[in-house]
Structure 1
């Protein structure tokens, strides 16, 4: 967790971040039940939005008994569970492969594959939490 929570000074920015944060929380919760929707990235996005818009909602999310563990270890720099890494990489590569099949444009395929490689490298370089 960041040591200092700095809310934006602009009211319109705070409201926009709150809206994106709550949408991300909703998508993250839906992702718990739908295998094609990732949970952790949405919850991390929500935490990032809340840290700049509402201290109360940020602390609520990070300390939540069911949602907090999905992001707390990552925010504390402890790593990502092996199961989450495998799940994220598998779904990402499956969706990229399907997208490349559907999109015939070379530049779009190149962009998608480059993005997938970079995200894969990022995920693989994160610490792996031991199994509980």
Structure 2
């Protein structure tokens, strides 16, 4: 039962990551990081597949081993959060919702830019 829970969670995160790869404004990497984390708890084959993925594997390994985020990912994430915050200002959402989401994105951006960046040699693994 526990293994089933982790596999369902991995599947949800991978689906969200695939949607994020197609849909602008929705993140991909964070859902893959979450999928790899959940896979490490109960789906070793999927964990290995994610960590060895040709496009995302190095980023996932660097996150797991060193907690690093590539500068390009920081720029993209910050830019998308800024665009989302600007769009949010023009919606009919209540002011409290606008303020809460914009402050949340600002806190996430600050945290993100405090993460170390991988050394050049780490990316070639």
TM-score scaled to structure 1, two decimals? 0.76
Aligned residue pairs total 121
Partner of 2:68: 79
What are the residue-to-residue correspondences of 1:8-23 with 2, within 5 Å? 11=1, 13-23=2-12
Partner of 2:30: 41
Cα drift, residue 85 of structure 1 = 0.6
User: In structure 2, what is the Cα distance between the partners aligned to 1:71 and 1:100?
Assistant: 33
> RMSD of aligned C-alpha atoms?
2.3
Partner of 1:61: 50
**CA deviation map 1:60-83 (0-9, x unaligned):** 211223331231111121622111
Cα drift, residue 112 of structure 1 = 0.6
User: In structure 2, what is the Cα distance between the partners aligned to 1:63 and 1:127?
Assistant: 22
Contact 1:24–1:45 (8 Å) recurs in 2: yes
User: In structure 2, what is the Cα distance between the partners aligned to 1:26 and 1:66?
Assistant: 16
Runs of 4+ more than 6 Å apart: none
User: In structure 2, what is the Cα distance between the partners aligned to 1:37 and 1:18?
Assistant: 22
Partner of 1:107: 96
Which structure 2 segments of 5+ residues have no match?
A: none
Instruction: State the SS of the aligned residue for 1:66.
Output: coil
Which structure 1 segments of 5+ residues have no match?
A: 1-10
* Farther off after superposition, 122-131 or 38-47: 122-131
Normalized per residue, the structure richer in helix is 2
